Amino acid sequence: MKLTRRSLAVLLLLAILSALLYAQDAPPKEAGTFRQPDLVELVKLDSTIRLDIRYATKNNFTGRAVYKEPRAFLQRPAAEALVRVHNALKSQGYGLVIFDGYRPWKVTKIFWDITPVEKREFVADPAKGSRHNRGCAVDLTMYELQTGKQVRMPSEYDEMTERSHINYQCATPEARRLRDMLRAAMEAEGFNVYEPEWWHYDYKDWRSYPILNISFKEIAHASSSSR
């Protein structure tokens, strides 16, 4: 197949645009009107919600800490809905463990850059931003109230395999029961699961909030200054 000069010029332009897009070092600019962010710290709403912030440790798929502090924030409506989920699960003998909440855009960019192309369904495209960047996505599991131990789900957190899919059926009956219990409780409060990851849930109003790239320290400082 012989390419014309015009075709070559178009291909070159597309290559340049693609390179510029994925070399970006700032969040994408969005048009529209968004709600004023109101990120709140989950454990300050309910101290019995547990944290296991893997990204503040080396125990995550990057092999290094990408957060300076083990903290979890969500937009206030999502955070309050999550507390209701936590309280509902208590009647069944379980509580929530949070792996991640709001995530600065720059961390989404790190995840994308280090993830092989064939595994990128497990990470968000920084050119579009993540629902974590909007403060309306949460990664979580459950713990047993009686023992304090995390439950065993069909896969590990951030495992990039078919076992992580919400509809994976080759797990033990108990793991499927716990996964389905968490899903039912989350959906009752307006969260929707991201199907490739049983642990990832998006709050229904995520489109109403902008993509953010502020640090946990900046959130905490803004919160204390507004009191």
Determine the pLDDT at residue 6: 60
Structure tokens of 201? 């849930």
The predicted model scores a pTM of 0.86
Q: Where are the domains of the chain?
A: 37-225
Determine the pLDDT at residue 161: 97
**Angle in degrees, CA 119, 122, 126, rounded to 5:** 100
Q: Which long-range contacts (CB under 8 A, 24 or more apart) does 107-115 make?
A: 107/55, 107/66, 107/67, 108/132, 108/133, 109/24, 109/25, 110/62, 110/66, 111/62, 114/62
Domain with residues 37-225, CATH architecture: 2-Layer Sandwich (3.30)
Determine the pLDDT at residue 214: 96
Residue numbers annotated as active site: 197
Distance separating alpha carbons of residues 198 and 217, to the nearest angstrom: 29
Contacts of residue 11, defined as CB under 8 A and 6 or more positions apart, other chains included, come to 3
Determine the pLDDT at residue 38: 97
Determine the pLDDT at residue 25: 83
Q: Tell me the residue type at 123.
A: V
Which candidate, 137, 141, 139, places its Cα nearest to that of 154?
A: 141
Determine the pLDDT at residue 24: 63
Determine the pLDDT at residue 48: 97
Show the low-confidence residues of the chain (pLDDT under 70): 1-24, 223-227
Structure tokens of 157? 């957190």
pLDDT one-digit tens code per residue, 29-67: 998 899 999 999 999 999 999 999 999 999 999 999 999
